[in-house]
Chains A and B, each alone.
Chain A
Amino acid sequence: MTAPPLARGLLGAGDPSLAAHRAAHGPLPAVPDLAVLAGDLTGRGGAGFPVARKLRGVAEAARAAGTPAVVVGNGGEGEPAAAKDAVLLDRSPHLVLDGLALAARAVGADTVVLAAGRRSLPGLQRAVAERGAPVRLVELTDRFLAGEETALVAAVDGGPPLPRGRAVPVWRRGVQGRPTLVHNVETLARLALLARGGPATTSTLVTRHVPGRHGPVVDVAEVPLTARLGDVLALGDAQAVLVGGYHGSWVPARAAAGLTLTRDGLAPAGAALGAGVLAALPADRCGLRETSAVVSYLAAESAGQCGPCLNGLPRAAAGLELLARPGPHPPGLLADVHRWAGLVVGRGACAHPDGSVRLVTSALRVFADELAAHAAGRCTATSHAPFLPVPAGAR
């Protein structure tokens, strides 16, 4: 992965030390009401939930339960195509720790946890030691679902990192059975900038994938939410853009170029910013083949707890793998894939089946011409070099 470009704001100038943090941002001011300050800030972990509502919900639940709340910073970025949270933790750990301190004060928490992947931990240990902060660091596995809110809570509690469903939400009963505030690390860093008067709600971190001379070029950038996608991502000869990541959607490049990154800007294209991934698939690749590799990986990453996901995703993945090869295909295969995909939606304890199906159905829609070519025994791709990153074994 290439180094992210130097940027002001969330990504700082590249020096993660406390001294550089204080020089750039000054001391952390006291905030009388964090929920008011958060305003219309939305979570940056994928679901885009309003931050203020979560803050108020946890504070109320803790008061009602008569127990201090728990605050968890979620740096779990199991998505292979996403790197923005890891880059943020590397470059600006003290903004994230500031955000944790603000959130803990706001909801009356006596326990503060920061959970992240193994590679992020050494830097975080240094940062936590530098400021003597009472923050417990928890190492997460690099499984796709490690950052799923309920799986994260299970991991923090020392159990296997499995989603548990949301019959009882974590804001009511999370870590140690206590009301728990879980915020993505970028969300926390944005709160730290907001506390200092920065315009932190209007931009976002994205992980960009574009073709380069020696394979895909990946970087992380902070971009305005009102920017047009075509100005944020070098589309070149791209045929389609993957928006949001592996629970996201394909959008034809021509339609994608003019979209803004706000929720309302992406919605007409059936897309959402999700995990902040933007990938410009070059014209020489096969979108079906790329999607098939990702979906096989996603099927294997199912926690295997819910019958429809356990049964439906591997079948949809196997069907897609056949469709991704030039035909002839078994009659009814495309209808089977649609049916299997439809059967898993809304029937899991977490969003994994729904998100995976979103990717499958967008691929079948956007790459319809390629489907027809495959059915006729041809593939239009001239390169089979992998573009989207998929952990070894799934491709």
Chain B
Amino acid sequence: MSARLRVDPVACTGHGVCADLLPEAVVLDEWGYPLLAAGELPAELRRPARRAVAACPARALRLDRATGARQTSPGQLTGSAQVARPQ
């Protein structure tokens, strides 16, 4: 089982706590909003990721299980894309 970070872009208010606690997987853009490393979260980052999720003041950060099955919310909450997706 693997895990994937997601940001709810409406809830996120750019506190930046996630980037402080999990700099390996989160950087802030020039306006202070998180950019998440693409793909699945490495196993060794699961524990600090859970801490970052718990510490988010806006409750905007989630750690989703990526089961390999088709996601029901394809790509709408990743906050991580640096490439355009087909609509």
Contact = CB atoms under 8 A, between A and B. Distances in A.
B29 A308 contact: yes
A347 interface: yes
Given A165-B77, A349-B76, A305 B84 contact: no
Interface string B44-74: 0000000000000000000000000000110
A305 B10 contact: yes
Contact of B83 (A163, A164, A345, A349): A345
Binding site of A, secondary structure by majority: helix, strand, loop or mixed?
loop
A167 B12 CA distance: 14
Contacts of B75: 346
Nearest to B62: A167
- Tell me whether chain B's interface is mostly helix, strand or loop, or mixed: loop
A347 B73 contact: no
Interface in A143-168: 163-168
Nearest to B75: A346
A354 interface: yes
A354 B87 contact: yes
Interface string B19-34: 0000000000111110
B71 to A, nearest CB: 10
Interface string A162-195: 0111111100100000000000000000000000
Contact of B85 (A167, A305, A342, A346): A346
A307 B31 contact: yes
Given A47-B87, A351-B87, A354-B87, A311 B10 contact: no
Contacts of A312: 31
A163 B82 CA distance: 22
B58 to A, nearest CB: 11
Given A165-B76, A167-B77, A346-B80, A307 B85 contact: no
A4 interface: no
A166 B84 contact: no
A187 B79 CA distance: 31
Contacts of A169: 72-73
Contacts of A305: 9-10
Contacts of A307: 9, 12-14, 31-33
Contacts of A306: 9-10, 12
Contacts of A272: 87
Nearest to A353: B9
Contact of A165 (B8, B30, B84): B8
| Shortest Cβ-Cβ A-B pairs, 3 listed | A346-B81, A306-B9, A307-B33
Given A165-B77, A345-B82, 16 more contacts: A163-B10, A167-B77, A305-B9, A307-B13, A307-B31, A308-B9, A345-B81, A346-B78, A346-B81, A346-B82, A349-B9, A349-B10, A354-B84, A354-B85, A355-B87, A357-B84
20 contacts: A47-B87, A168-B73, A169-B72, A169-B73, A306-B9, A307-B12, A307-B31, A308-B9, A308-B31, A343-B29, A343-B30, A345-B85, A346-B78, A346-B79, A346-B81, A346-B83, A346-B85, A349-B8, A354-B84, A354-B85
Interface of B: 8-10, 12-14, 29-33, 72-73, 75-85, 87
Interface of A: 47, 163-169, 172, 272, 305-309, 311-312, 342-343, 345-349, 351, 354-355, 357-358
